[in-house]
Amino acid sequence: MKTTADELQTQYILQSGKFDKHSETGELASLLESMQKNAKRLLLSLVDKQGGDINDVDRSIYYRDSKGEICEALMECIVSCGVITIEGGEKTHIDKLLPDILYGLLNMLYDDFSQEPETNQ
């Protein structure tokens, strides 16, 4: 019973962002937050190097909508300010992507565009 209570408390702490940064849970949460910030920065830098937008991405993504619910959609375009156009012309932002989707998108786009010669040389 104590283990379940501890797990629920840890889940609440991680979801609410109320954690002691000096605890193991806090250190892990801080590390994950830092990794997400770096992934976003790298993704936006990659988009910027491609002229400020990448079209025809055609990748399924999971993101949180305005109600906080997880949604799935087909991504069409991303611009250097972080706005993502999804199917139907709707828009979301990289801040709303689930972490694993963010990392996967960064890896996919990096693989796609790191192979191409830069056009500004």
The one-letter amino acid code at 27 reads E
Question: Structural domain boundaries of the chain?
Answer: 2-14+23-114
CA atoms within 13 A on the CB side of 14: 14
Tokens at 75, concatenated: 């991504």
> In this structure, what are the phi and psi dihedrals at residue 80, rounded to the nearest 5 degrees?
-65, -10
Tokens at 100, concatenated: 């694993």
Arithmetic mean of pLDDT over the chain? 82
C-beta separation of 58 from 74 below 8 A: yes
What is the reported pLDDT for 17? 55
Quote the pTM value: 0.70
Kindly report, residue by residue over 59-110, the tens digit of the pLDDT: 999 999 999 999 999 999 999 999 999 999 999 999 999 999 999 999 998 8
Say if residue 117's pLDDT is above 80.
Answer: no
Say if residue 31's pLDDT is above 90.
Answer: no
**93 to 18, 59, 85: CA distances (angstroms):** 24, 15, 8
Residue 58 — very low, low, confident or very high, per pLDDT cuts 50/70/90?
confident
What is the reported pLDDT for 12? 57
What is the reported pLDDT for 114? 73
